[in-house]
Amino acid sequence: MFDRLLRLSPPVIPAKRINTPRSFCTKGWDTADMSETVKGPASYFPSIEKKYGRPIAEWKEIIRSSPLTRHMELVSWLKTEHGLGHGHANALVAHTLAENSGK
C-alpha cells in the first residue's frame, strides 16, 4: 500500500535558490557595500542630470536665485518654468533647502 502511494504522488522538487545581490540581503552577507548607496533626494541626481542636461550645482543655483522660498512653491515653479517632473523637482528643492538650513 505504501509503495503504491509513493508511485501516485508527484515527485518533490527541491526549491531553487535564487541568487540575490548582496545589497538586497541582510542576513549572512557582507553588507559593507550598502553604506555606499546614495539615499534620499540625492539618489535622483544622476537621472536629473541625464534627463535635463544640467549639472545639479546649476539647478541648486537656479533654486537659490528664485524669489520663492516655500518648498511646494519652488517645486511648482520648477515644473512649470523648467519642465521638471514632480519627483525630480521635489528632490532638488528638498536637498537645496536642507543645505541652506544646515541640516
Per-domain boundaries in the chain? 41-103
Closest CA to 82 of 57, 103, 51: 51
41-81: pLDDT as tens digits: 889 999 999 999 999 999 999 999 999 999 999 999 999 99
Enter the pTM of the model: 0.63
